[in-house]
A and B are shown apart, each in its own frame.
Chain A
Amino acid sequence: MQLWLWAVLLVVLIAGYVAATSNRLDRLHARLDATRAALDAQLLRRAAVTLEIAASALLDPATSVLLASAAHEARASSGDDADREVVESTLTFALRAAFADPDEAQTLAAEPTGLALLGELEAATTKVLLARRFFNDAVTATLAIRRHRLVRWLRLAGRVAAPTFFEMDDATPAHLSVAQVDPNAEALEVAPDVD
């Protein structure tokens, strides 16, 4: 019978599979956009808080200049700049250098405005770490499905460029939590990258 019936059935099945796959890809691209936006927001926020600390005149001028210039560079390189990973890592490095000495955090914590800023900085650095982890996770998932033969042959990804991982140094400064501004810094232990 009905060779044509089988053919129709096959076509319907393939069409359904293609539709489902394209739907998944769509959703992953949306997740990618959302996590990218979150990462961008957290990076900007970290730069803004750092600038505010530098401008607060609560730290010594040398440290303030170091932080201000690194934060300014980071803020200027928003979006898709190729050197953003480097610039953001530099800010991380500057923050780590500035707060390597536990006394620095204590100096800030002595003033009420400084205490609030320190809490914000601690939150911002942790959230950069979280947001980057979630973004790279979305990249992994998207790349996995884009490698499927079906997706490549039918060009289901369309003109959306293949995502790339955001690699930067985001190790939090050692002594931000010493001032006990925010005790959750200790509970939130983030294990090193495995990828």
Chain B
Amino acid sequence: MKVGLVCPYTWDVPGGVQAHIHDLAIALIALGHDVSVITPADDEASLPPYVVSTGRAVPVPYNGAVARMAFGPLSARRVRRWLRDGDFDVVHVHEPTTPSLSLLASWSYDGPLVATFHTSVQRARTLAAAYPILQTALEKISARIAVSVAARRTLVEHLGGDAVLIPNGVSMASFADVEPFPGWPGDGGALGFLGRFDEDRKGLPVLLGAFEKLAAGRPRLRLLIAGPGDQDEVRRSLPPELVDRVEMLGLVSDVDKGRMLRSVDIYVAPNIGGESFGIVLLEAMAVGTPVLASDLDAFSAVLDGGRSGRLFATGDSDDLAANAVELLDNPEARAALVPLGKATARSYDWSTVARAIVRVYETVAPGAAMRPGSSRRR
């Protein structure tokens, strides 16, 4: 199958959408498909062979952030030429609501069009202003994919219609050989937490409650926290003697995320609700760190009902502490979870996700062959 992928953001800048497209392209090529990616890029020399550049992108504010995007007649012409030369069976655009290449491609293309929506925070005002213009392009999309429940909800609320949910994959390769931070996890034991800790549903207070209990009997136990949020507020909520034993990294890069997960003896996911999928659990298991998570349905499903990681009663600090003790005092139990966790993470590998996406292509592409007018336009 000849697949054309459209990336709206500059290839050289690291980002979730770019990483998704990169991993998807690699996985599709491995499955034997013919893939071409079109994207804005600064440095054309360093691009992989399957990537086509439309040139430099311009930083512009949109949807509450400054992103580097490509638009204008030159970009539109390059996208049209790429579509014509590519003769694709299916074109897959990402984030078609951003004013960049994806929107241009949806505008110009008349064949089977698949779109993936990544963003879960779409400013209502931005969309309301852009909607009449977007509509013409969005109406051409025959299959819509959302990467998370939140992204799907945003789509349903703001644009109408529906989408199928295909979560991001975990790239086992990029988590294979990460190194812990120097000095971590240390011989006193270390727990880890990752996420926006100012959101109640992430459950950091549950973990802090358990940490206080555990720290009393374990003078060298430490806690490593990564993610955005008000660090001072967390420090204030801790007993003064524990402040030095809680390390906060703030927002971390993708590379440091892997290292952070590797730097702890147990990764704890104390969420109290609203979690859609638990991709971080899979990432922790991919680097080989045992997982201790609240027994939400989604987490229980990912952890195979508690076989490839441990579950504790949601919101219960005492139960969390009791389970953590069993794992901290028992290196064999931790070691036994590592291969099970890695096997689970592998089943969510990109090759698996790519196969699910190929099914969407197959559903859309044969019907499109019967489309009146599609042969005329080719």
A-to-B contact residues, CB < 8 Å? 24, 27-28, 30-31, 33-39, 41-42, 123, 126-127, 129-131, 133-134, 136-138, 140-141, 144-145, 182-184, 186-191, 193-195
A186–B367 alpha-carbon span in the complex (Å): 26
Interface contact A37-B161, CB-CB below 8 Å? no
Give the 7 A-B CB pairs with smallest separation, nearest first: A38-B367, A188-B356, A184-B355, A34-B367, A37-B367, A130-B363, A187-B352
Q: Which of B162, B366, B372 touches A33 (beta carbons < 8 Å)?
A: B372
Residues from chain B with a CB closer than 8 A to the CB of A191 are 149, 152, 164-165
Distance in angstroms from B200 CB to nearest chain A CB is: 24
Within 151-200 of B, Cβ neighbours of A (below 8 Å) are at 152, 156, 160-167, 169
Q: A33-B370, A123-B359 are in contact. Are A187 and B140 (CB under 8 A)?
A: no
B residues sitting closer than 8 Å to A (CB atoms) are 112, 136, 139-140, 142-144, 149, 152, 156, 160-167, 169, 277, 347-348, 352-353, 355-356, 359-360, 362-364, 366-368, 370-373
Is B164 a contact of A190 with CB atoms below 8 Å? yes
Q: With a CB–CB cut-off of 8 A, which chain A residues contact B143?
A: 130, 134
- The residue among A27, A129, A133, A145 with the most chain B CB atoms within 10 A of its own CB is A133
Q: Are B162 and A137 in contact (CB under 8 A)?
A: yes
In the complex, the answer to whether A187 meets B144 with C-beta atoms within 8 Å is: no
Determine the residue in chain B with the shortest Cβ distance to A29: B372
Could you tell me the distance in whole angstroms from the C-beta of A125 to the nearest C-beta in chain B?
A: 11
| List of A residues within 8 angstroms of B362 by Cβ | 127
- Across the interface, name the chain B residue whose C-beta is closest to A145: B139
Main secondary structure of the interface of A (DSSP, over half): helix
Q: Other than the known A33-B372, A35-B142, what 7 A-B pairs have Cβ atoms closer than 8 Å?
A: A34-B368, A37-B367, A37-B370, A129-B164, A131-B367, A134-B364, A186-B352
**Does A34 contact B142, Cβ atoms closer than 8 Å?**
yes
Q: Are B164 and A34 in contact (CB under 8 A)?
A: no
Cross-chain contact A35 with B367 (CB below 8 angstroms): yes
Please tell me if the beta carbons of A137 and B161 are within 8 angstroms of each other in the complex. yes
B352 and A33 contact, CB distance less than 8 A:
no
Closest approach, in angstroms, between the C-beta of A64 and any C-beta of chain B?
27
Which residues of the partner chain A approach B371 to less than 8 Å between Cβ atoms?
Answer: 30, 33-34
Q: Give the docked Cα–Cα distance between A189 and B148 (Å).
A: 10
How long is the Cα–Cα vector from A183 to B279 in the complex, in angstroms? 17
Are A38 and B363 within 8 A (Cβ)? yes
CB neighbours of B142 from chain A (8 A)? 31, 34-35, 134, 138
Contact A38 to B162, CB < 8 A, known contacts A30-B371, A30-B372: no
Judging by beta carbons under 8 Å apart, are B363 and A31 in contact? no
In the complex, what residues of B have CB within 8 A of residue A187's CB? 166-167, 169, 347-348, 352-353, 355-356
B192 nearest CB across to chain A (Å): 25
CA distance A36 to B367 in the complex (A): 8
- The reply to whether B352 and A131 form a contact with Cβ atoms under 8 Å apart is no
- From A37, A38, A184, contact of B356 by CB (8 A): A184
